[in-house]
Chain A
Amino acid sequence: MPNENSLAGCSSAPVLKERGQHEVFCGLTSIIWLHRKMQDAFFLVVGSRTCAHLLQSAAGVMVFAEPRFATAILEETDLAGMADAQLELERTVAELLSRRTDIKRLFLVGSCPSEVIKLDLATAAEKLSEKYFPRVNVINYSGSGIETTFTQGEDACLEAVIRGLEPSEEKQLLILGALPDIVHDQMLRILDQLGLKNVSVLPQIRVEDEVAVGSNTYFICAQPFLGASFDEMVRRGAIPITAPFPFGANGTTAWLKAIADTFGVSENTFKAVTDAPRRRAELAIEKVSKILKSRSVFFFPDSQLEIPLARFLNQECGMNLIEVGSPYIHKTLVGPDLELLPETTTLSEGQDVDKQLDRLLLGAPDLTVCGLGLANPLEAKGFTTKWAIELVFSPIHFYEQAADLASLFARPINRSEKLKIGRVA
């Protein structure tokens, strides 16, 4: 039975730790949405042609006029001596900043090659920050594939941003995580209705949106993949609020409630603000999720959204969980969601893709959530799949998107049922 959870759930369940071939993006990929979110920022990857090609392939059709990201491609000459590479980087940045006067924040993003040749981007960022002060703030972080997986790129970026925040002892609420505009605004509206003042979001949309941090700062993550940012906030003295992530009606209610309780919002106010949208969400989910009920789902590791989403699919849509894979499990962050997973769920961390595919065959799920590299080959074998990357790009948080989230999973199943012509590829 999908909904009968024991109290402990999965929080202390054994985790299958896999250490084989990973079939995941590296952290650079986060730039695709981060650069849309931070409107005065530019992301300069210091890397290879592969890094540039990855960004382009992940961005797909979104070839923007002049996107706010680019790659400084290392060449044979840069690899010869370190001194050269630093100078080259300064020259490249100068070229970029003279062409793009709208840039106020410049992120130097490390890659595998820049890490392996030990190109010191921290020093470079410091020097460049001084040189372009006060026009441009230069910050460095690593999105390399030897250190980060997919959404961890946003985490590393945010961690670097937090490190540079001014101290403040003011009482405030800080929300971590880049969200699509519509979701971002909904969230702030609801927090405002709850009577919360002094609410800020990181990453800031513009550099002028000043945010500071200190021991009177309460913070909560809106995304489950912000483990390093979480730890950095704690180091800065801020007080974490943890809760299930705001997916679906239950997740959103629990997330908002944790904030409301922290700030002493009355039960009446909380109900007055959340009851209507919550009921609306529940009804909408119920309609959409009929097709999901009692069906089984298997998650390949991708974005670290897997555990909270599995919680939503199980608890609110009635799906059975076969395996929930995640590239990395930050127990403090996803603990509240883990507790709500049925004990029978197989949890896996890391990946050995061939072995996981073997388990998939055995598990024969009704729906497989996986990356783009695996989706079509699995469809051709008769599996119904959902591309995980869409979950990162789409508005899926909070009440008003709850049914949209369910329908992202319902649509592939729906299609499989509609098509009457086989799927021989």
Chain B
Amino acid sequence: MKLSVWTYEGPPHVGAIRVATAMENVHLVLHAPQGDTYADLLFTMIERRNHRPPVTYTTFQARDLGSDTASLFKKSCIEAYERFKPELLLVGASCTAELIQDDPGGLAETLGLPVPVVPLELPSYQRKENFGADETFFQIVKRLSRPLEKTEEITCNLIGPTALGFRHRDDITEITKVLNSMGIQVNICAPYGATPRDIEVISQAHFNVLMYPETGEMACRFLERTFSQPFTKTVPIGVGALSDFVKEVSEIVGANEINAETYSQLPWYSASVDSTYLTGKRVFIFGDGTHAMAAARIARDEIGFEVVGLGCFNREMARPMRKLAASFGVDALISDDYLEVEKHIQAIAPELILGTQMERHIGKRLGIPCAVISAPVHVQDFPARYSPQMGPEGANVIFDTWVHPLVMGLEEHLLTMFRDDFEFHDQAGPSHHAAHSPSPKSELIPEAVTEGNLDHKIIWLQDAEKELRKIPFFVRGKARKNTEKYAQNNGYSEISIETLYEAKAHYAR
């Protein structure tokens, strides 16, 4: 038993849903109780997807246990097939169904459905979300791929992007551009946007670009073993990594790396005078292994930060992470315990955190600025604008995003010079960004003091004042003003609870 407050990864079946949702014409029948349908909202709310994830949950109940959960599963499979007519059916169990051991794979097999059925083994009590995605995609590839002649022109597959990934949609576009500039076409991209038919022709590409090892490595290894498709080991996040990536690709296919379009503004921005203020800033970096390791290199070599802490939440990446951390002279923090990460950050007191949405919350609490570099992410990390992490544009985006929460240039001077000035006090934070600036003690403004622009004085009775404080702070100011205006218009000299609510009703819209 492990006491857990917040988790970095969901259970493995959520990884399977990320793969199914990313693909087209695939349906997943998940043997699971009703509450597990919460997973849908991750995709429809956080990622703002316009479709329900292609998942049928059997939603068995206590009264079904022991009697007919198996027939419920079969019925769900048949109905899902009839309704959605997928080209490929995935079947699996969530943590609860794993315990009742209905064997979804075996049951689905007996139905004789006219499409391939891939049973998923998702060990809920041992593994987690990224494993679930990696395993699911691997099983799909293993089932559907077949040997084919390589294409005439040089092609590759983009492997690993899923639904709910951190900037996966934009990374695909960006990396496709870079590869095209080298004269390489994309055969298929998968799981993101791929159909089962696409997977059938996966082997005709010359090589694979492993974009996200967390969710695509098993498939890449399988494809290498089975069809001698080599795969890239460098994840092209950052200027240096992009250049290494281009070299690696060139070596694989013998293409001319000189032609690759990799120009990014990052090197000049880092070299410009203003960025002196970034030099030596102490940063703590945490996320999934891939993003955290890429971020460490950018932080040190491309912006000039000092990396004072580095780690990842996925144990699968512990080994390379430890190695890299050692080369930075720090001990890697490998942990999926949110409280431990918080303690660590508190102890090293960095000036900037590069982390996940969890570290953003830690930063808020500790008053340390934070930029998000990795899943798990929240709705604001799926921006409307194009904002990849990979490729040249990714490097631009990263420079902007990381510098944004910091106090820059002259502003920093002013803060130091006028340290005691009320406007420039230490907690003031960057002037351009009120929302992210840490200001832990801001609720000190006396609330019931009426501003002097009213004709005659209106007194707030104690009860009313107390009531006012119960209104959420972000609308409290408005409520106060409206009530006073209302009282004034009606010639009241005192504001009671009654007045407060009369005003509320008056201004209701």
The verdict on A277 contacting chain B, using a C-beta distance below 8 Å, is yes
- Residue on A with the closest CB to B471? A182
Find chain A residues with CB under 8 A from B79 CB: 20, 354
Q: Are the CB atoms of A79 and B125 closer together than 8 Å?
A: yes
Closest chain-A Cβ to B60's Cβ sits at a distance in Å of: 7
Closest chain-B Cβ to A254's Cβ sits at a distance in Å of: 20
The verdict on B498 contacting chain A, using a C-beta distance below 8 Å, is yes
Closest chain-A Cβ to B46's Cβ sits at a distance in Å of: 8
Q: How large is the interface on A (under 10, 10 to 19, 20 to 34, 35 or more residues)?
A: 35 or more
Find chain B residues with CB under 8 A from A52 CB: 4, 6-7
CA distance A96 to B126 in the complex (A): 23
The verdict on A134 contacting chain B, using a C-beta distance below 8 Å, is no
Interface of chain B residues 111 through 157 with chain A (CB within 8 A): 124-126, 128
Interface of chain A residues 164 through 192 with chain B (CB within 8 A): 181-182, 185, 189
The verdict on A139 contacting chain B, using a C-beta distance below 8 Å, is no
Instruction: Report which of A66, A67, A96, A181 forms a contact with B470, defined as CB distance below 8 A.
Output: A181
The verdict on A89 contacting chain B, using a C-beta distance below 8 Å, is yes
- Residue on A with the closest CB to B466? A185
Find chain A residues with CB under 8 A from B493 CB: none
The verdict on B281 contacting chain A, using a C-beta distance below 8 Å, is no
The verdict on B477 contacting chain A, using a C-beta distance below 8 Å, is no
Q: Are the CB atoms of A116 and B35 closer together than 8 Å?
A: no
Closest chain-A Cβ to B73's Cβ sits at a distance in Å of: 12
Query: Which of A203-211, A240-248, A370-378 is found at the contact surface with chain B?
Result: A370-378
CA distance A48 to B36 in the complex (A): 11
Q: Are the CB atoms of B504 and A400 closer together than 8 Å?
A: yes
Q: Are the CB atoms of A54 and B38 closer together than 8 Å?
A: yes
- Residue on A with the closest CB to B52? A377
The verdict on B226 contacting chain A, using a C-beta distance below 8 Å, is no
CA distance A376 to B497 in the complex (A): 39
Interface of chain A residues 22 through 51 with chain B (CB within 8 A): 22-29, 46, 48-50
- Given A53-B10, A63-B358, A374 and B44 touching (CB < 8 A)? yes
Q: Are the CB atoms of B1 and A85 closer together than 8 Å?
A: yes
Find chain A residues with CB under 8 A from B95 CB: 48-50, 112-113
Find chain B residues with CB under 8 A from A60 CB: 378
- Residue on B with the closest CB to A56? B6
Q: Are the CB atoms of A48 and B3 closer together than 8 Å?
A: no
Q: Are the CB atoms of B470 and A280 closer together than 8 Å?
A: no
Interface string of A362-384 (1 = CB under 8 A from B): 00000000011111110110000
Q: Are the CB atoms of A146 and B65 closer together than 8 Å?
A: yes
Closest chain-A Cβ to B261's Cβ sits at a distance in Å of: 31
Q: Are the CB atoms of B5 and A53 closer together than 8 Å?
A: no
Query: Chain A contact residues: over half helix, strand or loop, or mixed?
Result: helix
Instruction: Report which of B34, B39, B52, B509 forms a contact with A24, defined as CB distance below 8 A.
Output: B34
Interface string of A88-99 (1 = CB under 8 A from B): 110110011000
CA distance A74 to B98 in the complex (A): 13
Closest chain-A Cβ to B475's Cβ sits at a distance in Å of: 11
Closest chain-B Cβ to A187's Cβ sits at a distance in Å of: 13
Q: Are the CB atoms of A372 and B41 closer together than 8 Å?
A: yes
- Residue on A with the closest CB to B58? A21
Find chain B residues with CB under 8 A from A374 CB: 40, 44, 52
Q: Which of A46, A65, A92 has the most CB of B within 10 A?
A: A65
Interface string of A232-244 (1 = CB under 8 A from B): 0000000000000
The verdict on B449 contacting chain A, using a C-beta distance below 8 Å, is no
Instruction: Report which of B1, B58, B378, B497 forms a contact with A72, defined as CB distance below 8 A.
Output: B1
Q: Are the CB atoms of B96 and A49 closer together than 8 Å?
A: no
Find chain B residues with CB under 8 A from A185 CB: 467, 470
The verdict on A160 contacting chain B, using a C-beta distance below 8 Å, is no
Interface of chain A residues 367 through 425 with chain B (CB within 8 A): 371-377, 379-380, 400, 403-404, 407, 425
Closest chain-B Cβ to A272's Cβ sits at a distance in Å of: 13
- Residue on A with the closest CB to B95? A48
The verdict on A276 contacting chain B, using a C-beta distance below 8 Å, is yes
The verdict on A78 contacting chain B, using a C-beta distance below 8 Å, is yes
Closest chain-A Cβ to B1's Cβ sits at a distance in Å of: 4
24 contacts between A and B (CB under 8 A): A26-B35, A26-B36, A26-B38, A46-B1, A49-B10, A49-B11, A49-B124, A49-B128, A53-B7, A54-B35, A56-B6, A56-B7, A60-B378, A72-B1, A73-B4, A79-B99, A117-B99, A277-B501, A281-B505, A284-B504, A371-B41, A373-B38, A400-B505, A407-B509
4 closest residue pairs by CB, A with B = A26-B35, A145-B35, A373-B40, A425-B50
New A-B pairs, 6, CB < 8 Å, besides A189-B497, A280-B501, A373-B40: A50-B96, A115-B62, A287-B508, A288-B508, A372-B44, A373-B45
Binding site for B on A (CB under 8 A): 20-29, 46, 48-50, 52-54, 56-58, 60-61, 63, 65-67, 70-76, 78-79, 85, 88-89, 91-92, 95-96, 112-113, 115-117, 144-147, 149, 181-182, 185, 189, 276-277, 280-281, 283-284, 287-288, 354, 371-377, 379-380, 400, 403-404, 407, 425
